[in-house]
Structure 1
Amino acid sequence: MTSSDAAASFPEKPHILDLFAGPGGLDVAAKMLDVPSLGIEWDKDACDTRYAAGLRTWHADVSEVRRERFQKLDADLNVLAGGPPCQTYSVAGNGAGRRALDKVKKLIHELVDGAGEEEIDERLTEMGGDPRTALVLEPLRYAIKALSCPNRNGRPFDVIVLEQVPAVKALWEVYKAALEKGLPREDGTPVRYNVAEVKTLHTEAYGVPQTRRRTILIARLVEHGVPQLPAPTHHTFNLRKPEEGGPKDIRTALPVDGGTAPLRPWVPMGEVLTNREPPFEIVSNYGSGGDPKNRGIRTYEQPSFTVTGKVSRNAIRHPGGSPLTPDRLTIPEAGILQTFPPDYPWDGGDRSQQVGNAVPPLFGVHVLAAALGKPLPPEEGLRKSWRRPDRDGKEYKTLRMEGCEAENGCGNNCPKP
């Protein structure tokens, strides 16, 4: 992020539409930047957490909103963000998305060349397989839909921010080429974007006390200039050289890669899990090298493993094997490793999955700040008490009425589990 970008926020009044919004990682980041957002989320449990946290939400299917209710979205939504479900693309998933990569790439080109919605839906039906694979197309379909929506008067999204697992990098590259070529208006004139280098970033390089990799795409309308990926602020963690770049590595006091200021040490989990008395270690739920008995171990002096939907199965113990009490990471602890505020109001069911699916808010702050040309806010804001609406108050009921069209539970238009 350049100094000129930081000095002048753009668009002047950013308003984020967050597709596949989850329990609120990107929306928490937006609040840290004082940017309003609206999240669309299919999962009822994640929506319950969002309402409890005071986040504006539509409990809806992203595809259904595009088809049936796009014109009801706020006309001033000018930043499109999204992290489509990654299960079929993830190494941990069933691989359907990876097998369908070539077909999905072809559909991206067809969309940019002006293929209609029904035609694309037919192609997707012919593909078969896991329906979540097609959801990676939704951000592009939203960007194109905006150009013909009457209440927007053809206004495109000023900024597009996408994140996914590294396996989707090839698709984001195709997205990049499509956005640079230009999205089709009804009159045939293209709407072009400048797109930053598509790159896989390490979250610990942005102060997250967890090793996690996400592939990021940032695009701006050409009139807004060329975006840059967020510059790292911390060292990455090297499992083969666990002291390198850490708090005890004296080399962190030296400038890195020709810069004038040194990167900060990566953040160990013992620094943020202040309720746990060190020393302690975490044993991963996953085996390594294909051997389920060969489970990885991270100490309190290292960043955590990637927080997944199975995070509550990770054992936490004294060095040597005797268990701590509690002997598993709690949901608030997992949330802290994701950089959610310590008292973030996790609600609904399957909270481990909610935490694991979320974008780390601190990482989201860096990505959104780079995309919008905003200065980074103090990190301390994510460690403060989170303001939440009164369950019996007007604000909470208003959030539920907008999201579910019912004050308690789901309304008729909410998606079925």
Structure 2
Amino acid sequence: MTAPASQQPPAAPIQVIDLFAGPGGLDVAAQQLGVPVLTGIEWDADACETRQAAGLPTLKGDVRESGPEDFPTATVLAGGPPCQTYTVAGAGAGRRALEDVLSLAKRMAAREGDVTQHLTNLDDERTGLVLEPLRWALAAIDMGRPYEAIVLEQVPAVLPVWEVVGEALAGEGYSVASAVLHTEAYGVPQTRRRAILIARRRGEAAMPKATHRPYRKGVPRAEGDPQLLPWVTMGDVLDRPHPFVVVSNYGTGGDPKARGRRTSAEPSATVTGKISRNRVVTTNGAELPRFSLAEAGQLQTFPADYPWAGRGIAQQIGNAIPPRLAAHVLTAALDLGDEALARAIAAAEGSATLATV
């Protein structure tokens, strides 16, 4: 159990260590919030190239080869482990191994020896990486230097893992919250669902409150809770002169009847590494240029001029957490307040005026 707040020592200055940092979604949000990131650990050379071009502190390496003892000043642990084995679009090795992963998480929390070998013996070694943040968190606790806050992100199928991780952290004195969040409810011009965990040593952990209305096909944008803003559309963020329609060709098996459509007055469907397969047409069906990489990044709420580098850029973009969502989650996890979030959003939008959050 944690000591009462009055007996706790003052919190150390915020410094984030970002595991599986990718091309920088969470770190971009941290920059916008004025939150220092000590470093982001990433093993993909192309994502590291993007991070370096963006000026983000980066350690190219495997998170399994490091631990909290290597970053003793870090006070916040963040991580978005690889999702490929858990995502519906993948082969499903992680979903099939879910019970094994949950069992191993409980063994880790109980300190039942080193379970590393069991994790690497799973069908796909990426599956076990989802428990690396728990290993780091427990190691920091055992060192007597627990992280003040922990933020984890993954695809919805990983929520049961986050729940078990949350139980382990709660047993170590953390307040924990976990849920699946919808990105359009936080001002992202895209429908995407992410399983989020927030754990705090001080204060009560809670998910960030939605700021925008949920997207529903066929429901007018103006309808819904008057206390929430309308969802943000593709047309709001992309510099295209005329309305357009996106025709999905991903996951359809080539069946024209299965092709989803979104207009520029709607949020994008989930941005993936296959976004170039989607056609973009006029309202009359005439072909338009497909989304550029910069536009795909904007739909993820990266800056329009973000310096994407290396190979597989579309996949880098599709794998990233949207910075706008990350800003809301970090604000909640670190108790930064609405004004800090508003300044971050204004900065992201290039406006000197505080945005409505």
TM-score, normalised by the number of residues in structure 2? 0.90
Q: Is residue 250–residue 277 contact of structure 2 (8 Å, CA) maintained in 1?
A: no
The answer to whether 1:49 aligns with 2:50 is yes
Structure 1 position 291, deviation (Å): 6.2
- SS in structure 1 opposite 2:103? helix
Give the aligned residue type for 1:357: N
What corresponds to 1:292 in structure 2?
255
In the TM superposition, what is the alpha-carbon distance from 1:312 to its structure 2 partner?
2.1
Q: Which has the larger displacement, 314-323 or 105-114?
A: 314-323
Q: Which has the higher contact order (CA 8 A, sep 6+)?
A: 1
127-136 or 279-288, which deviates more: 279-288
User: 1:269 and 2:249 equivalent?
Assistant: no
- Asked whether 1:27 is paired with 2:18, we answer no
Alignment partner, residue 131 of structure 1? 125
Distance 2:118 2:54 in 1: 39
Name 1:176's counterpart in structure 2: 166
Larger radius of gyration: 1
- Give the match's secondary structure for 2:27: helix
Counterpart in the other structure of 2:354:
none
| 1:218 aligned residue (198, 212, 229) | 198
Aligned to 2:333: 371
Cα distance in 1 between the residues matched to 2:55 and 2:271? 24
CA–CA distance in 2 between the matches of 1:292 and 1:22? 33
- Is 1:382 matched with 2:344? no
SS, match of residue 347 in structure 1: coil
Shift of 1:347: 0.8
Runs of 4+ in 1 over 6 A off after TM superposition: none
Cα distance change on mapping 1:15 and 1:292 into 2, 3 Å? farther
Indicate conservation of the 8 Å contact 2:250/2:274, yes or no.
no
Q: Deviations over 1:365-412 (max 9, x none)?
A: 000000000021332311339xxxxxxxxxxxxxxxxxxxxxxxxxxx
- Select the residue among 143, 147, 155 that pairs with 2:141: 147
* Pairing 1:232–2:210 present: yes
Letter of the 1:310 partner, please give it.
K
SS of corresponding position for 2:249: strand
2:97 corresponds to 1:100: yes
- Give the direction of change, closer, same or farther, for the CA distance of 1:231–1:12 in structure 2 (3 Å limit): farther
3-state SS of the aligned residue for 2:298?
Answer: helix
Report if the CA contact (8 A) 1:32-1:377 is conserved: no
Q: Give identity over the alignment, percent.
A: 53
- The answer for the alignment partner of 1:305 in structure 2 is 269
Could you tell me how far 1:199 is from its partner in structure 2?
1.1
Give the Cα–Cα distance (whole angstroms) in 1 for the partners of residues 112 and 251 of structure 2.
45
Task: Report the residue type matching 2:62 in the other structure.
Answer: D
1:168-207 superposed matches below 5 A: 168-182=158-172, 192-196=173-177, 198-207=178-187
* Letter paired with 2:349: R
Unmatched tracts of structure 2, length 5 or more: 1-9, 352-357
- The separation in 1 between residues aligned to 2:254 and 2:181, in whole angstroms, is 28
Cα gap change, 1:121 to 1:218, in 2 (>3 Å): same
Partner residue in 2 for 1:64: 65
3-state SS of paired residue (2:259): strand
Paired residues, number: 336
Match of 1:39, SS state, is strand
Task: Establish whether residue 335 from structure 1 lines up as the match of residue 297 from structure 2.
Answer: yes
2:116 is the alignment partner of 1:121: yes
Q: Quick one: structure 1 residues 295 and 11, their matched pair in 2 at CA, closer, same or farther if it must change by over 3 Å?
A: farther
Distance 1:88 1:287 in 2: 17
Name the aligned partner's letter for residue 41 of structure 1. E
Q: How many Å separate the matches in 2 of 1:305 and 1:320?
A: 21
Tell me the amino acid that sits aligned with residue 176 of structure 2.
V
Give the drift of 1:98.
1.0
Q: Distance in 1 between matches of 2:170 and 2:95?
A: 24
For the 8 Å contact 1:286–1:296, the answer to whether it is kept is no
Cα shift readout 1:245-289 (whole Å, capped 9, x = no counterpart): x1xx2x45x64xxxxxx1000011101102x1221111113245x
Cα distance, 1:346–1:76 mapped onto 2, change above 3 Å: same
Partners in 2 of 1:195 and 1:148 — Cα distance? 19
Query: Structure 1 regions of 5+ residues with no counterpart?
Result: 1-9, 183-191, 256-261, 386-417
User: Equivalent residue for 2:4?
Assistant: none
- SS for the counterpart of 1:98 is helix
- Conserved? CA contact 2:294–2:306, under 8 Å: yes
| 1:191-234 Cα deviation digits (max 9, x unpaired) | x21102x211100000000000001110012xx02111100000
Distance in 2 (CA, whole Å) between partners of 1:60 and 1:238 is 41
